[in-house]
Amino acid sequence: GKSLVVAVDGPSGSGKSSVSKAVATRLGLAFLDTGAMYRSVAWHCLNGRISFADAAAVEAAARTVKMAQSMDPGTEMFTINGINVTAAIREPKISEAVSAVATNLGARAELIRRQQALIAEHGRRIVVEGRDITTVVAPDAEARLILTASEEARLRRRGLQLGGTQSAEQLAEQVLARDAKDSTVVDFQRAADGVYTVDSSDLDFDATVDAVIAVVRRAV
């Protein structure tokens, strides 16, 4: 079919992952979760006792790790060297460690290269979600948008996602501190030229999916 890359960036807790998956399902596109790739490298380093302080070792880990993900938006599945890490990469210890991978420029270059290869392999019929997709990974995407939400909405959603097991302080640390760290490498809060913004603070899930689909239709 015709090339349709939908690039979605945004902060954590903006709902971009579940919204992007639903958009991919509705449009019949593949789905690529790039954050899961950063998380997978972090998991691999922790599991293999690779020190995050050793930038060359982290970069080498990003280059050599065998990771795969189901790019069917209806199936969530991540493997590293054949091990199912779907739940493990969502653990708080990974969220806390992942910025060491995200701020490693060699590791980033490698993951960006892999992401671009995956987009090509899927015939450029894909929704790609992350922090630097609209600007770095796929600046040539047919539709580019930033999904934002107020700090309050993001903390509430992440809290629900984690099943109310975290205190307000833990949540704030995980969501806001991670965004602050991420902002040092990629500017995902401000839409670049030609990039649409969808603010989901006052929209429910279905309305957010509709708003994103409307942006895609307007853009193509």
Q: Which residues are annotated as a binding site for ATP?
A: 10-18
Q: Establish if 59 lies at the interface with ligand C5P (CB under 6 A).
A: no
Q: Establish if 131 lies at the interface with ligand C5P (CB under 6 A).
A: yes
Among 130, 134, 174, 175, binds ligand C5P (CB under 6 A): 130
Among 21, 44, 119, 132, binds ligand C5P (CB under 6 A): 132
Asked if 85 contacts 134 with a C-beta cutoff of 8 angstroms, the reply is no
Q: How far is the CB of 34 from ligand C5P (least distance, A)?
A: 4
Q: For the chain, give the DSSP string.
A: ---EEEEEE--TTSSHHHHHHHHHHHHT-EEEESHHHHHHHHHHHHHTT--TT-HHHHHHHHHH--EEE--STT---EEETTEE-TTGGGSHHHHHHTHHHHT-HHHHHHHHHHHHHHHHHTTTEEEEEESSIIIII-TT-SEEEEEE--HHHHHHHHHHHTTT-S-HHHHHIIIIIHHHHHHTT---SSPPTT-EEEE-TT--HHHHHHHHHHHHHHH-
Q: How far is the CB of 130 from ligand C5P (least distance, A)?
A: 3
Nearer of residues 160 and 214 to ligand C5P, judged by Cβ: 160
Stretch that binds ligand C5P, among 57-65, 129-137, 140-148, 190-198 (CB under 6 A): 129-137
Burial class (CB in 10 A: 0-12, 13-18, 19+), 169: exposed
Among 4, 5, 12, 71, binds ligand C5P (CB under 6 A): 12
What residues from 81 to 110 belong to the interface with ligand C5P (CB under 6 A)? 98-99, 102
Among 21, 44, 124, 178, binds ligand C5P (CB under 6 A): 178
Nearer of residues 69 and 196 to ligand C5P, judged by Cβ: 69
How many CA atoms are closer than 13 Å to the CA of 68, on its beta-carbon side? 9
Q: How far is the CB of 129 from ligand C5P (least distance, A)?
A: 7
Nearer of residues 2 and 12 to ligand C5P, judged by Cβ: 12
The mark string for 31-50 relative to ligand C5P (x by CB under 6 A, - otherwise) is: ---xxx-xx-----------
What does residue 193 show for φ and ψ, rounded to 5 degrees?
A: -55, 130
The footprint of ligand C5P on this chain (CB under 6 A) covers a number of residues equal to: 16
Interface residues with ligand C5P (CB under 6 A) are 12, 34-36, 38-39, 98-99, 102, 130-133, 178, 182, 186
